[in-house]
Chain A
Amino acid sequence: MNENLQYRIRARLLKVLHFVTLFIAMAIICVPGLWVVLNSFRPTVEIMAKPPVWVPGDLNLDNYRAMFGAVGEGGVPVLQYFTNSLIISVTSTLIAILVGMAGGYAFARFRFKGKASIFIGLMLTRAVPGVSLSLPLFIVMAKTGLIDTHMGLILVYVALNVPFTIWLIDGFFRQVPVELAEAAEIDGCTRWQAFWKVEFPVARAGVASAGIFAFLTSWNEYALASQLTRSTFSKTMPVGLRDFTSEFTINWGGMCALAVLMIIPALILTFLVQKHLIAGLTFGGVKG
């Protein structure tokens, strides 16, 4: 009995330890983020106060009011940025998924010469640092008139996301037995129908996880966006953050307010896709 007691106590202790560690880990993850959220409701004096103000004394919506306010009152065309970000991220994610699905299907279902090298080659395009890419890309975009357009950024983000999308989706189609599509064809589907009605639904989770990664990349990308956008017509939210920095000052409170606006849609989307995300990565990852 003594032995059992010992193990029972140990199990309890481990449980408590697990809980405490988990709590600390989550705190480390959340605090810097929540600090941003909190700051968005505080006046800059209080954020920058020395000695520090730990208990927020003055929570208000001033930063938000200013952000949505008119030009000259600290207003930033935030709705325009939001719309731009949304259009660019959603469109580029959709296209990346379509292109990635075609590519992934090709890798998963066909045998051809140089498959491995082509695959690695595609992956490596993502390894090119944005810094080395931004200027030549800018020149190409400028020559083709794509600078400062939604289209330009969409193309760039599609290219940025396609390799990873292909990879994940390829892994996923491998999970779908070839017989499934064959059975559907025998049941009277065309090749195309067999794909859409049978193979695609099975691989949906993979598509969902590829989608969320692509969306987050496009939604948060800064280096290239700052180079390829100019005016409010195409500036995305990460670039918009820079509106709060001027030559001498950073309006940190205002920046936080915009940041919150950036985080919320991404967070909601992630939560919704959560279930598929894990499944998608699980299957997409192992085999391939």
Chain B
Amino acid sequence: MAKVNLRKVVKKYGALQVVHGIDLEIDDNEFVVLVGPSGCGKSTTLRMIAGLEAISDGEISIGERVVNDLPPRNRNISMVFQNYALYPHMTVRENLGFSLKIAKRPQEEIDRAVEAAAQILSLSEYMDRKPGALSGGQRQRVAMGRAIVRHPDVFLFDEPLSNLDAKLRTQMRTEIKKLHQKVKSTIVYVTHDQVEAMTLADRIVIMRDGHIEQVGTPLEVFETPANTFVATFIGSPPMNLLAGRVADGEIAIEGGPQIAVPDPFSGKVVNGQEVILGFRSDNLMPAGHAMPMEGGFTEFDMKVDLSEPLGTETLLFGSLAGKEVQAKMLNPRPVSDGEELRFQLDLTRCHLFDANSQQSLR
């Protein structure tokens, strides 16, 4: 149980800098998810916390202890790897007990800890098999069990679910969440899957190109994305973004409708400013198939190019100002391709970004 602090942490490979001085404070027992596209430096950051990569500059501390140069074994951490990294020549039992055996704990203690972990993860019937004889999900559980056994200060997860099929992934996600509740420990979790991030995290850290773009609770990052990158990365389908210019309290979408500047942004724009209007498909709905709009909204016509019925709702693909735009239809009825519908855009839930900095204008 410990805090993890990253201060101005830099990672360079020769001349190539992959992590650009990030700052991050992770609280005791907090479940933090690092998320971002591949190559954003999230795994590197995790591996620096683990001590598997040396840091080039800055400082990392676990608990109150600076661990910059400490080897992994002295950091009291556990890690679950993407490929599980089970020891192929050891049985499940040996895999689970390995770290305790290395620490020269008495055998009974090892047995007890291993049994306990096996209980938690329902591994008891596979204890004498070797990893080669286990299924993907079972291996995943062994990998997690191995991490639990040590009672570490911090759990590190490096994309642990990416090798599982969709169904198993959902199931394991729940188990990890439960696990966190049971073992109450600091967890740093890396994934490129924003759904995983949203469902698991206490706080999400969104990274791009070695920088932290935004840190916040899942709802914060969803509802108030700091910039267009976060806006498109979090949430599915991604936020619609349309470029426009502010003119007299309205945003003129080039070759599209004029849309009033949404309330939260009204004092924050000046005439002639290049902006980007962002809204999620949940907030653009055909009239008659929409949620009741409480605040201001605007209406315009749009041709539907393609529709994807999902059952309770239908995803509609149209285009505005030459850009593809996604909308949702509640209580769906069949829509034929090319049909023109009247859409309502909920202005209270719109986002506005500066076109130059891409930062939110909120």
**CB within 8 Å of A: which residues of B?**
65-71, 74
Give the CA-CA distance A54 to B69 in the complex, in Å.
46
User: B67 — which chain A residues lie within 8 A by C-beta?
Assistant: 4
Q: Does A55 contact B (CB under 8 A)?
A: no
Per-residue contact bits, chain A 1-32, to B (CB 8 Å; 1 contact, 0 not):
10111011001000000000000000000000
A1–B66 contact, CB under 8 A? yes
Give the CA-CA distance A4 to B66 in the complex, in Å.
7
* Tally of chain A residues near chain B (CB < 8 A): 7
* 13 more A-B residue pairs beyond the given contacts A3-B70, A3-B74, A7-B71, with a C-beta to C-beta distance below 8 A: A1-B66, A3-B65, A4-B66, A4-B67, A4-B68, A4-B69, A4-B70, A5-B69, A7-B69, A7-B70, A7-B74, A8-B69, A11-B69
Closest partner residue, chain B, to A9 (CB atom): B69
Which chain A residues numbered 85 to 126 have a C-beta less than 8 Å away from chain B?
A: none
Which chain A residues numbered 139 to 171 have a C-beta less than 8 Å away from chain B?
A: none
Give the CA-CA distance A8 to B74 in the complex, in Å.
13
| 16 sample A-B contacts, Cβ–Cβ < 8 Å, listed by A number | A1-B66, A3-B65, A3-B70, A3-B74, A4-B66, A4-B67, A4-B68, A4-B69, A4-B70, A5-B69, A7-B69, A7-B70, A7-B71, A7-B74, A8-B69, A11-B69
User: A8 — which chain B residues lie within 8 A by C-beta?
Assistant: 69
CB of A270, distance to nearest CB on chain B (Å): 29
User: B74 — which chain A residues lie within 8 A by C-beta?
Assistant: 3, 7
Closest 6 CB pairs of A and B: A7-B69, A4-B69, A8-B69, A4-B68, A7-B70, A4-B66
Give the CA-CA distance A11 to B66 in the complex, in Å.
17
CB of A43, distance to nearest CB on chain B (Å): 49
Closest partner residue, chain B, to A4 (CB atom): B69
CB of A267, distance to nearest CB on chain B (Å): 30
Give the CA-CA distance A7 to B55 in the complex, in Å.
14
Give the CA-CA distance A5 to B69 in the complex, in Å.
7
User: A4 — which chain B residues lie within 8 A by C-beta?
Assistant: 66-70
Give the CA-CA distance A7 to B71 in the complex, in Å.
8
Give the CA-CA distance A11 to B65 in the complex, in Å.
19
User: A5 — which chain B residues lie within 8 A by C-beta?
Assistant: 69
CB of A57, distance to nearest CB on chain B (Å): 45
Give the CA-CA distance A1 to B66 in the complex, in Å.
7
CB of A80, distance to nearest CB on chain B (Å): 51
Closest partner residue, chain A, to B70 (CB atom): A7
Give the CA-CA distance A7 to B72 in the complex, in Å.
12
User: A1 — which chain B residues lie within 8 A by C-beta?
Assistant: 66
User: A3 — which chain B residues lie within 8 A by C-beta?
Assistant: 65, 70, 74
CB of B219, distance to nearest CB on chain A (Å): 38
Give the CA-CA distance A1 to B68 in the complex, in Å.
9
CB of B231, distance to nearest CB on chain A (Å): 40
Give the CA-CA distance A4 to B68 in the complex, in Å.
6
Give the CA-CA distance A8 to B71 in the complex, in Å.
10
- Centre residue among B66, B68, B69, B70 by max chain A CB count within 10 A: B69
Closest partner residue, chain B, to A7 (CB atom): B69
Per-residue contact bits, chain A 64-88, to B (CB 8 Å; 1 contact, 0 not):
0000000000000000000000000
